[in-house]
Amino acid sequence: MRNHILTSAIALAAALSTPAFARPMTEIDLATLKRVAAPTASPDGRWVVFQMTETEPKTYKRSTGLWLIDRGAQGAAPVRVADTADKNETAPAFHPDGSLYFISNASGKSQVWRADPLVAAAAAVQVTDTAADVSGFKLSPDGKRLLAWGDVPRECIAFGCDAKDKGALPGPGSGRLYKDGAGFVRHWDSWENPGTYSRPFVFNLEGGKASTPRAVDGGLIGDSPSKPFGGGEELAWGADSRTVFFTLRQADKDEPTSTNLDIYSWLVDSRMMPQNLTADNKATDTLPAPSADGKWLAYAAMARPGYEADRQVLMLRDLSTGKTRKLTDAWDRSVGSIAWAADGKSLYVTAQDVLDHPVFRVDVKTGKVTKLKATAETHEGTIGDVTPLPGGALLYSRNTVAVPTDLFVRDAKGKVMRLTDVNRAQLAEIDPVDAKRFSFKGANGDTVWGQIIKPADTKGKVPVAFLVHGGPQGSFGNSWSTRWNPRLFSAPGYAAVTVDFHGSTGYGQAFTDSIKQDWGGKPLEDLKLGLAAAGVQDSNVDTANACALGGSYGGYMMNWIAGNWPDGFKCLVTHAGVFDLRAMAFETEELWFDEFDHGGPWWQRAEGEKWNPVNHVTKWKTPTLVIHGEKDFRIPYSQSLAVFHALQRQGVEGELLIFPDENHWILKGQNSIQWYQTVFGWMSKHLKK
């Protein structure tokens, strides 16, 4: 076997001019590091505002505020703006007049507020006063209108009302009644309330105040933005400040089996119904991005209905003729975000590419795709929040597997300036790490990539934390995670090893598709070969002294490994993992996910039991820690109860950690601490240091 390796030493402490070694990173560090998000720039590009979440280290209470940077002042440090004590400010956006709009819960509800960001003592003024909470908003290009959205009953004319139709709660008892054809009964982490949807409304702005709103969705019934993860990227103002483009998922009996999102346009001052611009495509259409000259609408589209991990191709629609063409059909990558260049001649998109998530420029005329050339800080790692600035500069966020998110600006010539370094002091206290990427020949002889993250001072053999990503169409990649964090897994003196097995994203659509109806086949082969390759590439990696850990599909793989690679590991950690594919097929909420990957409804599957972990429980012997959240409706927590019972009944060592207030993910600060402490305790018990 021929192996290839690329090494990138993350000498973080040296870069920060601190002592070479301080102390290992802890789960408290991960929970309390500051979190940067949602950068926005003033119309002239000089001022940048972003939101930052801070966590109190004793109570783990989180609060989010807004911070301002002056790009015109060399070495300027961020300063807090529009701050209300004990309240949260999020989602900043500059008005064309230079004022700052944002969402705050200062009134007791989430509403839109505004303030002058350049006047320190200026009081914020409430813009909206609606019955329902505002989830997000966008200002029209001329600044005269406000597009806002939130969960609003369908019968409400205004932005919220005391609806007469209580959906699934007919009374007189507490029971929910879902009628035939109800669609989703529960979704992600909440029970559905039929009749209430995520709905967009348009307000006129008069004297900085929002007037009576008008619903955008007309007679459409569904969620815009889509649930559970859709946001502002699914809605946009047209250049004329009269047209609204929005993505909507129709709510009907087919919703649990459909991935059909459509893009609609609606004229604010007309009585016409919204127009479906993508009705012919029964797969996902999303990310509407109109050009500044009003001529074009760029968006992303999938081709295959029922497949949430299909390739997203960049599309371009002529708004005057309706003619549409595929700009990136010949490019085997999936577009993750879209932004027009200031000159309108190209678009900036992000897309996963091997282990990174860089920025690419797409030429409007030819569709030619070019990765931006510059230093590592322009394309290595994970890039997001790409915002073109006047003069050809780009504002963006960036993180890597070794460092959390900060903000950067790349000028038109490719020179990069770092805008923020919000965790500098805390990171300076923590030991540096080395991050390596390596490749090897996996299943079918295909090239498969992985990473090794370990303390920079590692000497001799060290135990392995073998991390298996979820999805399964995903990647551990060169990115920072606030949940499954490879750098933190290496801190106790382990080598954290990841492998992007067949089915992972960033390697072309055929590689992603290859996991279909093969959950336990090629991926397991890749993991076996990848762990062995890591041991060959790095003499510190002790492959015989390893614990494997995974969540979601990674949790499935732990349950599969327990019966199909029972001698591979000293211990396992399975978080929110699928144990019985038959039960999963009938219990999960988004049925398209399970049915596409496994060949339709359970009764139509030719080999439904082939990759089912429950069929191999009698071979289990590896000590296993089982974790789940009770509010997980994607993979119901009963799957993990079954794993624990299977361990107990067979006398295999196991522990069960259940979080009653968490969903598929562990999000609360204290719960994250408990999660890591339990996992690290389990690993320490079974791995020889």
First to last CA, the chain: 30
Per DSSP, the three-state class of 86 is coil
Instruction: From residue 49, give the alpha-carbon distance in Å to each of 71, 98, 513, 578.
Output: 11, 12, 40, 42
**569, two tokens:** 């590991």
DSSP lists the bridge partners of residue 114 as 101, 125
Choosing from 224, 337, 479, 552, the catalytic residue is 552
**Lookup result for tokens 């799957």:** 639
Residue 116: exposed, middle, or buried by beta-carbon count in 10 A (0-12, 13-18, 19+)?
A: middle
CA distance linking residue 40 with residue 407, whole number of Å: 11
Other beta carbons less than 10 A from residue 331's beta carbon? 20
Helix axes 522-537, 553-564, angle to 10 degrees: 80
**343, two tokens:** 């000159």
Q: Is there a catalytic annotation at residue 552?
A: yes
- DSSP letter at 156 equals -
Choosing from 594, 664, 672, 686, the catalytic residue is 664
Q: What are phi and psi of 205, to 5 degrees?
A: -100, 120
Instruction: From residue 51, give the alpha-carbon distance in Å to each of 128, 138, 370, 419, 458.
Output: 20, 16, 31, 14, 36
Residue 74: exposed, middle, or buried by beta-carbon count in 10 A (0-12, 13-18, 19+)?
A: exposed
The distance of Cα 188 from the centroid of its chain, to the nearest Å, equals: 14
Q: Is there a catalytic annotation at residue 539?
A: no
Per DSSP, the three-state class of 376 is helix
Pair 538, 531: CB distance under 8 Å: no
Other beta carbons less than 10 A from residue 73's beta carbon? 9
Per DSSP, the three-state class of 374 is coil
Pair 387, 40: CB distance under 8 Å: yes
Pair 535, 541: CB distance under 8 Å: yes
**101, two tokens:** 């709009």
Pair 152, 132: CB distance under 8 Å: yes
Pair 497, 531: CB distance under 8 Å: yes
Pair 490, 520: CB distance under 8 Å: no
CA distance linking residue 68 with residue 58, whole number of Å: 27
Q: Is there a catalytic annotation at residue 357?
A: no
CA distance linking residue 384 with residue 184, whole number of Å: 31
CA distance linking residue 400 with residue 32, whole number of Å: 18
Choosing from 356, 379, 632, 640, the catalytic residue is 632
CA distance linking residue 170 with residue 161, whole number of Å: 18
| Residue numbers annotated as active site | 552, 632, 664
